[in-house]
Structure 1
Amino acid sequence: MQTNLPLADELAALTVRIADLLLTHETVDEAVSALAHALKEAIPGTRGAGVSLMDTRGRRISTASTDPDVMQADQLQYDLRQGPCLTAWAQQATVTVGDSRTDHRWPAWSRAIADLPLRSVVSTPLSTPDGAIGALKVYSPIPDGIDPKAIRLIELLARPAALMLANAQARDAAERLSDGLIGALGARDAIGTATGIIMERLHVSRDQALATLISASRRRNEPLHQLAQDIIGGGEL
């Protein structure tokens, strides 16, 4: 990406690229990974970048890092429950660390990453109208290694990226719900069919056949829908 463009043009170019990446990946995890790598490429001189999506309690639901050092630094934040990424998410505000060795806001985390080649970091929330769904962060190997223009670019990019990731999350949730409903309907139909087979075999009412099926499921310690499929396939009670 060209870094000598005016900020507005640079942002527009990067937003289009990010939109293409996020909208063409099938899962949220893939989209998060694509965003992390695009961030690293867009900000010159970075050691790496990371993106985390979190639930309302700050627990990760999806995360991606471009480099092992970034992955370790991020993991330490979650293990220690402190760090710039969690603060950016909780406060819904950009957090900058000029030098991790002299910044004392998260002492345990700063000590834990002392041997990593990460000296400065910018983390900004992925904010939607309903609140922050996570945070993205960029690390540099030198103190004050991320200049103000890059910080502003990261902040401006975070909003459209957050909205696209929120849409991806909603799409994934809808697909999981759809799969679950299909599975539930399939199980219901199988149980109904197996009940009809038992009615024919034993010459009993529907209620009696269903009770027999449930009793056999408990006795055999076999899920009801699975036993129903066995009976449909010619299996015995």
Structure 2
Amino acid sequence: MQANLPLADELAALTARIADLLLTHETVDEAVSALAQALKEAIPGTLGAGASLMDTRGRRTSTASTDATILQADQLQYGLGQGPCLTAWAQQATVTVADTRTDHRWPAWSRAIAELPLRSVISTPLSTPDGAIGALKVYSAIPDGFDSKAIRLIELLARPAALMLANAQARDTAQRLSDGLIGALGARDAVGTATGIVMERLHVNRDQALSTLIGAARRRERPLHQLALDIISGGEV
């Protein structure tokens, strides 16, 4: 990213790049990782960056960091239940830390990262019309490592990124539901086929055959659809 671009032009170029990254990755985890790397490259003064998606109770559902130091700082936040990222998510507002060694808002976290080369932080929520779904964060190795332009840039980037990630989450959820439905339909078909086989073998009606299958599954402590597949393959009831 060229540092001499006006903010509007810089934002437009970076938003287009992030849109391309998020829309071309197949999974949410891949998209989050791409977003973290793009932030590191885009925000001047950044030592490392991270992106996290969270559920309504503040538990991470997907997270990515550009290097081990950032990963450690983020894991400490979630392990301790405090830190700028969690605060940005909970308050749905940008949080800035001028110097981690003199900021006392999260004492346990500040002590835990004291030996890490992280001195200043920006964390901003990934906000959608339905609420915050996570947070972005960038770290600098020096106090006051970010200027007002960097803060404004990450805030503006978070808006389209949040919407694209929310769409990616919805797409992943729909795919899982679809896969589950296919699996359920397959299991139902297998049980139906096996029931017909038992009817023919034992000369019983459908209800009796199904009861026989259910009883056999219980005795063998096996899922009904797995027993049905065995019978279709020639196994005994």
TM-score, normalising length from structure 1?
A: 0.99
In structure 2, what is the equivalent of residue 159 of structure 1?
159
Which sections of structure 2, spanning at least 5 residues, go unmatched?
none
How many residues are paired up? Answer: 237
In structure 2, what is the equivalent of residue 220 of structure 1?
220
Distance 2:69 2:4 in 1: 28
Structure 1 residue 45: Cα displacement:
2.1
- What code does the residue aligned with 2:122 have? V
SS of equivalent to 1:139: strand
In structure 2, what is the equivalent of residue 136 of structure 1?
136
Distance 1:14 1:36 in 2: 13
SS of equivalent to 1:40: helix
Deviations 1:126-155 (A, max 9, x none): 000000000000000000001110110000
Structure 1 residue 44: Cα displacement:
2.0
Structure 1 residue 195: Cα displacement:
0.2
Distance 2:3 2:51 in 1: 22
TM-score, normalising length from structure 2?
A: 0.99
- What code does the residue aligned with 1:82 have? Q
Is 1:94 equivalent to 2:94 in the alignment? yes
Deviations 1:37-79 (A, max 9, x none): 0000001221100000000000000000001110000000001
Q: After alignment, is 84-93 or 39-48 more displaced?
A: 39-48
In structure 2, what is the equivalent of residue 68 of structure 1?
68
Distance 1:42 1:84 in 2: 20
SS of equivalent to 1:168: helix
Distance 2:151 2:62 in 1: 23
SS of equivalent to 1:104: coil
In structure 2, what is the equivalent of residue 211 of structure 1?
211
Distance 2:61 2:83 in 1: 18
Structure 1 residue 221: Cα displacement:
1.1
Percent of pairs with identical residues: 86
Distance 1:79 1:170 in 2: 27
- What code does the residue aligned with 2:71 have? M
